[in-house]
Structure 1
Amino acid sequence: MPFTLRAPSEHREEIRKSRFLALAAPIASAEQAQSFIEAHSDRSASHNCWAWKCGNQYRFNDDGEPGGTAGRPMLAAIEGQDCDQVAVLVIRWYGGIPLGTGGLARAYGGSAAKCLQAGERVALVQRMQARCHVPFADLARVKARLDDWQALLEEETFDANGALLRLALPADQLETATHQLADLGRGRIRLQRLV
């Protein structure tokens, strides 16, 4: 099961007099990844290397380091930690001692991996969209059960008879929620899956 980060994290280390600062953050899109990278890059540093993955999209950049020694190992660290929807930026201040291509790959990949390990991880659950109309008399009981189904309340609109709820819930909870909603509402509440 893939994971993302609950909040940004960071990791600092020094390797042969070069200082490395790794920053990681959860993202929901390529635009958010690029915004994170632009906002946190340090132009006074020797290199601002980065990698991000969001679903089937991914990008990485070596920022002047020899090809394949920074961005690609960082992306490998993201995948090795079973992460998705994350961006990692590793900033390097050169310390005067060359690390070689293998040393660079270990430094960037290792810093990225340690940064991801330091952050609080959250499982990414594939959710389905569904909706139901709930009479006012049943609304509090239904809302109290949403956590049991791991359902997220995405939208709630009211009419004269109750509330129309749009939910996002894991596929394996759909049948359970459908039956329990029918029981709670004595047959008046029907959960409809949205395509």
Structure 2
Amino acid sequence: MSATSYRTIDASTEGLFRDKGSKFIAYAYPIHSDQEVKDRLSALKLHHPKARHHCWAYRLTPDRTVFRLNDDGEPTGTAGRPILNTLLSHDVTNIMVVVVRYFGGTLLGVPGLINAYKTAAQEALTAANIIELTVNDRFVLAFDYPQLNQVMRIIKEGGLKLIKQNFDNRCTVTMEIPRAQKAAILHKLNNIADLIITEVGTSGVG
């Protein structure tokens, strides 16, 4: 079933974990696209040019179906996976966590690395404000001017978000409908004569 809401963070945060001289600095970012992932990574590598590793994981889309992870030279499964598991345990999406490691000279071993990356990611998410957002599907309505009052009444009663409107002999309205209300709202709109409804996208996807 399609998601009707999702959890994410409303601003960037940081976390820090130290173990045997190594320093793990975690950065959590709200994101909406693969391009943002690349931009954040590039900026962090410029900011921390002497760091040994820049390990990361992210999840995208309200349905939580898109995810990636990267160990950046750490043993397989010791960095990206613990970071991703932290995102999974908080049930958040449209978020990226990067953990920057400065090596302290002492090897931590597989269990130590897993704990370090997990704890650093956890610290960043603990500092974050996790919010719940509705998934809204976007529609363009086209109709004749005499139908304007009927259309606007449905929009007002549903508390729907208007994106763009153009009122002429032939009117167009771009609006968003929360997915949980979609069936009921479209049922009402379909009762208006000569109204053309076109679905054009979804918010929260990017």
Q: TM-score normalised to the size of structure 2?
A: 0.73
SS at match of 2:92: coil
- C-alpha displacement at 1:102, in angstroms? 0.6
| 2:73 pairs with 1:68 | no
State the superposition RMSD in angstroms: 3.3
Extract unaligned runs of 5+ from structure 1.
none
- C-alpha displacement at 1:8, in angstroms? 1.1
Q: 2:21 aligns with which of 12, 17, 24?
A: 17
For this pair of structures, how many residues does the alignment match?
187
CA distance in 1, matches of 2:180, 2:196: 14
| Greater mean deviation of Cα atoms: 168-177 or 111-120 | 168-177
Q: 2:174 aligns with which of 131, 141, 166?
A: 166
Instruction: Identify the residue that residue 130 of structure 1 maps to in structure 2.
Output: 139
Instruction: Identify the residue that residue 104 of structure 2 maps to in structure 1.
Output: 95
Extract unaligned runs of 5+ from structure 2.
201-206
- Identity score, percent: 29
| 2:123 pairs with 1:114 | yes
Instruction: Identify the residue that residue 10 of structure 2 maps to in structure 1.
Output: 6
Q: Deviations over 1:34-64 (max 9, x none)?
A: 2111112322112111111213222211112
Kept after mapping to 1: 8 A contact 2:6/2:135:
no
The one of the two structures with greater contact order (alpha-carbon pairs below 8 A, sep at least 6) is 2
SS at match of 2:75: coil
Instruction: Identify the residue that residue 59 of structure 2 maps to in structure 1.
Output: 53
Paired letter, 1:65: E
With over 3 angstroms needed to count, the CA separation of the structure-2 counterparts of 1:161 and 1:127, relative to structure 1, is same
With over 3 angstroms needed to count, the CA separation of the structure-2 counterparts of 1:172 and 1:15, relative to structure 1, is same
Q: 2:35 aligns with which of 18, 31, 56?
A: 31
- C-alpha displacement at 1:167, in angstroms? 1.4
CA distance in 2, matches of 1:8, 1:181: 40
Q: TM-score normalised to the size of structure 1?
A: 0.77
